[in-house]
């Protein structure tokens, strides 16, 4: 079976998300390999840590990455016939995509995620006013990107599907945007998200030096499987360029929608996500659609939950 593997970004963390994974031999082997970098508390973080504490950036990113690789390697062990023809990671999920594609070792992926989680947390602590993200939902979110970018203090941060995206900035400015949209009768719903900062906006430019330093000690190879990165929205093959994009990702618009279309353009037709609660695979129906909004007939999307991985 050929498939393009999908990995979610931050916000999918949930208490107990890896509880069953630690009982799976293949998954546990990978999780143990991640402990030296992601922390000796990794089992607690991914099985017992309370929701409020787990939502903190430093904990969430470590837990999600462990969850990604644990699920993928467990599924691969149970389905040795699986053949990847692509990998797409939403935001931080691109690191798992690179590991699945053989561009980065499990250990090095842990080094990078640990550095990323730490610097994201550090940047959040520098904010003098509450900042964050807000989901933007409408029929065609692309129609509102320029309007959102033009609104004082707000930037369009993530483009996920035809009708879904995310804006970032000060919470006060995001609230003002929501009020403005209502007063102007925009057919848009804007809803605040429970995150610590406006990821993928200029507020995270300060994260770049720490990420470049972490990448300098990592052996990044050309992917053995096509990897489609949201930072560019394109297929990326050159290690040096991939490293640059990883360092720019925190303050760059995440073009996940474009990345999925790039995978389709490359020939990917079967999209697979293995997760505690799959998320981006469910977006396929709002991404790969024709002019009438109907999902392309040659596209399949398979969501595999922990219990469905197999022995």
Q: How far is it, in rounded angstroms, from Cα 29 to Cα 297?
A: 38
pLDDT at 311: 73
Q: How far is it, in rounded angstroms, from Cα 256 to Cα 286?
A: 12
Question: What end-to-end distance do the CA atoms of the chain give, in Å?
Answer: 18
Residue with tokens 């599907």: 161
Tens of pLDDT, residue by residue over 171-201, are 999 999 999 999 999 999 999 998 999 999 9
Tens of pLDDT, residue by residue over 78-108, are 999 999 999 999 999 999 999 999 999 999 9
DSSP symbols for 65-96: HHHHHHHHHHHHHH-TT-EEEEEEE-TTHHHH
How many C-beta atoms lie closer than 10 Å to residue 180's C-beta?
15
pTM here?
0.97
How many C-beta atoms lie closer than 10 Å to residue 183's C-beta?
8
pLDDT at 217: 96
Q: Residue range 241-250: average pLDDT?
A: 98
Q: How far is C-alpha 232 from the chain's CA centre?
A: 14
Walk me through the domains of the chain, giving residue ranges and CATH numbers: 2-125+202-308 (3.40.366.10), 131-192 (3.30.70.250)
């Amino acid at each position: 079976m050929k498939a393009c593997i999908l990995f979610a970004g931050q916000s999918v963390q949930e208490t107990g998300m890896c509880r069953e994974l630690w009982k799976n031999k293949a998954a546990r082997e990978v999780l143990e390999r991640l402990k030296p970098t992601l922390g000796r508390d990794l089992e607690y973080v991914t099985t017992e840590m309370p929701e409020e504490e787990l939502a903190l950036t430093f904990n969430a990113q470590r837990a999600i990455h462990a969850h990604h690789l644990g699920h993928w390697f467990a599924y691969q062990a149970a389905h040795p016939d699986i053949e990847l023809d692509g990998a797409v990671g939403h935001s931080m999920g691109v690191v798992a995509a690179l590991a699945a594609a053989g561009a980065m070792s499990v250990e090095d992926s842990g080094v990078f995620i640990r550095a990323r989680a730490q610097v994201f947390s550090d940047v959040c602590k520098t904010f003098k006013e509450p900042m964050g993200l807000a989901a933007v939902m409408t029929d065609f979110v692309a129609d509102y990107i320029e309007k959102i970018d033009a609104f004082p203090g707000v930037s369009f941060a993530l483009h996920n599907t035809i009708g879904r995206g995310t804006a970032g900035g000060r919470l006060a400015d995001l609230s003002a945007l929501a009020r403005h949209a209502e007063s102007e009768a925009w057919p848009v719903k804007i809803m605040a998200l429970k995150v610590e900062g406006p990821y993928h906006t200029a507020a995270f430019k300060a994260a770049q030096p720490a990420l470049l330093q972490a990448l300098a000690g990592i052996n990044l190879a050309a992917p053995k499987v096509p990897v489609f990165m949201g930072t560019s929205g394109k297929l990326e093959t050159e290690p040096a360029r991939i490293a640059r994009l990883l360092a720019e990702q925190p303050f760059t618009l995440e073009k996940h929608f474009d990345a999925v279309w790039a995978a389709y353009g490359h020939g990917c037709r079967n999209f697979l996500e293995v997760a505690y609660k799959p998320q981006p695979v469910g977006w396929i129906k709002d991404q790969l659609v024709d002019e009438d909004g109907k999902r392309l007939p040659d596209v399949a999307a398979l969501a595999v939950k922990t219990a469905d991985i197999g022995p």
